[in-house]
């Protein structure tokens, strides 16, 4: 694991976007199936969204079916590990998507012979980029298979690195404002999901007013995602926003209950006595 560390050159510039071929195609799949990963260049600062592009190249004369299970909290069909700047190693997914809250969906993507399939993953769903420094990431697919021989799996692994700069509130505000606008301008609910999800994983106080506005404007479709996001931030401004949702008018009767649940989780897990008391006093 993390063999890239052995060959690492002196530190590169920030915002590295380096693709690595998944593994030797000869070693895993002949020359038939190849998967590559690359981090998409963004403002890679603490708490900003980090995206990785996955490209599956089908060199077989057969159609491939790529099955993956996903829900608002995780991905299926992929797994990964990360070595953080503080030396801690984490693996993902932490739980199988079926065991997580929220509705799950099974997706099947057909990859035609001698063609490519591309998917963009939000790495923050799995890993926290909450301290500055260099992160070493290893990813692999778990269940690419050929249509006419479903028992033959083609797992492929790749390694890459991303350098994360110190927290930059100005950059985070720019990112959050852009994502909020993309949600508001989306032509349909499906198009809202990707930018809303990215904003939901900006686990930073800068994101709170953007999340709160979207929760009011897009409650019917995005309330579960956005209340969870405020619960992850869990500072006083996030608590205020959740109290407002819990106690205010709602289009969907489930929305206040979601806010109440997020507040309960914050109360149980926070070490900040001021936040704990604020939640308790808000019930009176």
**Together in a domain, 206 and 241:** yes
Tens digit of each residue's pLDDT, the chain (284 residues): 554 444 433 332 222 233 333 332 333 444 578 888 888 866 689 999 999 998 889 888 888 887 766 544 456 678 889 999 999 999 987 554 444 444 556 677 889 999 998 988 899 988 999 999 999 999 888 777 766 655 566 667 888 889 999 999 999 999 999 999 999 999 999 899 999 999 999 999 999 999 999 999 999 899 999 999 999 999 999 999 999 999 999 888 899 999 999 999 999 999 999 999 999 999 97
Q: Is the dihedral of CA 262, 201, 251, 284 positive or negative?
A: positive
54 in the same domain as 154: yes
Helix (H, G, I), strand (E, B) or coil at 138: strand
Q: Which domain range does residue 250 map to?
A: 169-281
| CA 225/CA 103 separation, integer angstroms | 11
- Residues 3, 22: Cα–Cα separation, whole Å: 12
Secondary structure E strands in 112-222: 115-122, 133-141, 144-146, 149-153, 157-164
Q: Do 160 and 23 have their domain in common?
A: yes
- Give 264's contacts (C-beta < 8 A, 6+ positions apart): none
Q: For residues 212 and 230, is the Cβ–Cβ distance under 8 A?
A: yes
Of 164, 196, 221, which residue constitutes the final position of a domain? 164
Residue 95 and residue 42 in one domain = yes
Same domain for 232 and 153: no
> Dihedrals φ, ψ of 52, to 5°?
-130, 135
Count of the separate structural domains present in the chain: 2
Q: What is the CATH number of the domain that holds 204?
A: 1.25.10.10
CATH number of the domain to which 68 belongs: 2.60.40.2360
Task: Show which of 131, 164, 197 is a domain's final residue.
Answer: 164
- 91 and 12 part of one domain: yes
Do residue 144 and residue 186 come from a single domain?
Answer: no
Do 126 and 255 belong together in one domain? no
Q: Give Cβ neighbours of residue 283 (< 8 Å, ≥ 6 apart).
A: none
State both tokens at 101: 């809250």
Per-residue model confidence (pLDDT) at position 199? 97
For residues 157 and 234, membership in a common domain is answered with: no
Same domain, 97 and 32: yes
Domain termination site, one of 111, 145, 164: 164
Q: CA 180, CA 210: separation in Å to the nearest integer? A: 6
Dihedral sign, Cα of residue 210, residue 212, residue 215, residue 217: negative
Taking the CB of residue 231, how many other CB atoms lie within 10 A of it? 20
Phi and psi (nearest 5°) for 155? -70, 140
- Give yes or no: residues 182 and 149 share one domain: no
93 cis-preceded (ω within 30 degrees of 0): yes
d(CA 91, CA 150): 27
User: CA 39, 43, 45, 48: dihedral to nearest 10 degrees?
Assistant: -80
**Same domain, residue pair 7 and 144:** yes
Q: Are 20 and 37 in contact (CB under 8 A)?
A: yes
How far is the first Cα of the chain from the last one, in angstroms, to the nearest whole number?
Answer: 53
Helix then strand count (H, E) for the chain reads 8, 13
What residues pair up with 134 in beta bridges, in sequence order? Answer: 163
């Amino acid at each position: 694991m993390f063999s890239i560390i052995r060959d690492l050159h002196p530190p590169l510039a920030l915002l590295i976007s380096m693709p690595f071929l998944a593994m030797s195609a000869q070693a895993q799949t002949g020359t038939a199936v190849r998967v590559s990963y690359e981090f998409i260049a963004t403002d890679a600062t603490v708490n900003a969204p980090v995206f990785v592009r996955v490209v599956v190249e089908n060199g077989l004369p057969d159609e491939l079916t790529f099955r993956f299970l996903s829900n608002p909290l995780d991905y299926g069909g992929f797994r990964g590990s990360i070595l953080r700047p503080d030396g801690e190693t984490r693996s993902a997914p932490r739980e199988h998507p079926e065991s997580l809250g929220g509705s799950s969906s099974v997706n099947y993507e057909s990859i035609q012979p001698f063609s490519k399939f591309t998917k963009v993953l939000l790495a923050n769903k799995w890993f926290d980029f909450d301290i500055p420094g260099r992160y070493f990431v290893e990813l692999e697919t778990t269940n690419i298979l050929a249509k006419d021989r479903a028992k033959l799996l083609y797992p492929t692994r790749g390694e890459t690195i991303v350098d994360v700069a110190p927290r930059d509130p100005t950059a985070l505000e720019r990112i959050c404002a852009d994502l909020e606008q993309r949600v508001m301008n989306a032509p349909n609910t499906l198009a809202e999901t990707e930018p809303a999800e990215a904003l939901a994983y900006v686990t930073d106080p800068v994101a709170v007013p953007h999340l709160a506005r979207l929760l009011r404007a897009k409650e019917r479709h995005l309330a579960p995602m956005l209340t969870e996001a405020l619960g992850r931030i869990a500072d006083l401004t996030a608590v205020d926003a959740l109290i407002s949702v819990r106690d205010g008018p709602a289009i969907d009767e489930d929305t206040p209950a979601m806010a109440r649940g997020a507040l309960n989780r914050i109360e149980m897990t926070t070490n900040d006595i001021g936040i704990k008391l604020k939640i308790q006093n808000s019930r009176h």
